[in-house]
Structure 1
Amino acid sequence: MKLYRTLDPSDVDLSFAGRLHDANASLGGIERLRTEDALLLVLRGDRWLLTDRQGTAVFCLAKKFAPPAGANFLHGSVHAISMRVREDSAEEYHGYLRRETWSVVLPEPVFEPVLAPLALESPAETPTTAGVGKSRNGTADLRRTTVLS
């Protein structure tokens, strides 16, 4: 069973690209994206990012985002790309913005549940849990990613 999760704007850091300086590689990565392009989900520090196949961050997920507990990231793609303008942001954030308009990528990550073994004789790793840890908030640590075309 696959878990498709279309994220809405509240799940995405809407001002991510608006805060980037002109030479930032992420701006070029965002410009090259098209709908259905493959994405990777990675945890950098305490924030979840989606990157293109080259590992360039193309957006940051909102602080409230958490992957489904007990699931592995299977693959992701670009669901939509929208435009945002400075006036869309609250005035108190305008000082952080470096551009008047920018693109916002909305992803569709796909997860698959980790099947728990029927009985565990010891807390040792099993093939279904190997490499899946727990993050600070108790959700599955999904740093291992796979892109499926």
Structure 2
Amino acid sequence: MTAHRAKGLEFDHVVILNGGWQHLSKGEDGEAPRRLFYVAMTRARRSLAVVTQGAHAFVEADSDCEMLRKIEVPRRSDLPEPGQYQLPDMGAVDLSFAGRLPETSPTLAAIAGAEVEDPVTLSPREGKWLILDAKGRVLGRMAGNWAPPEGTSLVSGKVGAVVRWRKSDNEEQYRTYIKREDWETILPELVFRKTVAARNL
């Protein structure tokens, strides 16, 4: 995902790719790229890798942490069938779903036990897509307007991130339906592949 979209999220391992770090958006001051790079770096909990080809805009490769490698580009015929990836995205899920559940809901216990990288799957129910853990317990719900990419099927899913959401983060007219002040929400990371029928069209 982009560094902008990663704001507020954390991951055990972060890899920052090269390119575009010195680009200024309209109205930004000259230090904006450096601040954004700082945001990207501080998303990491356990390890951080910065990848570059040649000199990096902000990182001086002059320590024992530097690793030089020559990368062999794989042949296209050796690559797997291209997939469509959905990275953790707060806009793709119903952020207040768990906040509306009663304290006795098994979903709250399932969320409390979920960890990043745990496998998940999706199940359509009553016109909405539910996020399920490996035991079939509901972890959350995708946003009402979300749907899998057309002509694809889900081949893998995992917990990509866990974010804390608050009652005060919701619009005022919806707060009456919320039963707690804050809660955790699962953001899935999903991989889709084109179905055989779609590939043959």
Aligned length: 119
> 1:80-119 maps to which residues of 2 (within 5 A)?
80-116=161-197, 118=200
Task: Give ranges in structure 1 of 5+ residues lacking alignment.
Answer: 120-149
For residue 114 of structure 1, report the CA deviation from its aligned partner.
1.1
Aligned to 1:17: 98
- What is the alpha-carbon distance in structure 1 between the residues aligned to residue 145 and residue 98 of structure 2? 18
* Partner SS state of residue 59, structure 1: strand
- What is the alpha-carbon distance in structure 2 between the residues aligned to residue 13 and residue 118 of structure 1? 34
4+ residue runs over 2 A deviation: 115-119
- What is the alpha-carbon distance in structure 1 between the residues aligned to residue 167 and residue 151 of structure 2? 38
* Partner SS state of residue 165, structure 2: strand
Determine which structure has the larger helix proportion and give its number: 2
Residue from 145, 169, 189 that aligns with 1:64: 145
- What is the alpha-carbon distance in structure 2 between the residues aligned to residue 35 and residue 7 of structure 1? 11
Aligned to 2:156: 75
For residue 2 of structure 1, report the CA deviation from its aligned partner.
2.1
* Partner SS state of residue 196, structure 2: coil
Q: Which amino acid aligns with 2:87?
A: T
- What is the alpha-carbon distance in structure 2 between the residues aligned to residue 33 and residue 81 of structure 1? 8
- Alignment CA distance shift 1:118-1:109 (3 Å): closer
In our comparison, the structure showing a higher alpha carbon Rg is 2
C-alpha RMSD over aligned residues: 1.4
Calculate percent identity across the aligned residue pairs: 35
- What is the alpha-carbon distance in structure 1 between the residues aligned to residue 88 and residue 158 of structure 2? 11
Aligned to 1:5: 86
For residue 6 of structure 1, report the CA deviation from its aligned partner.
1.2
More relative contact order, 1 or 2 (CA 8 Å, 6+ apart): 1
Task: Give ranges in structure 2 of 5+ residues lacking alignment.
Answer: 1-81
TM-score, length basis structure 1: 0.76
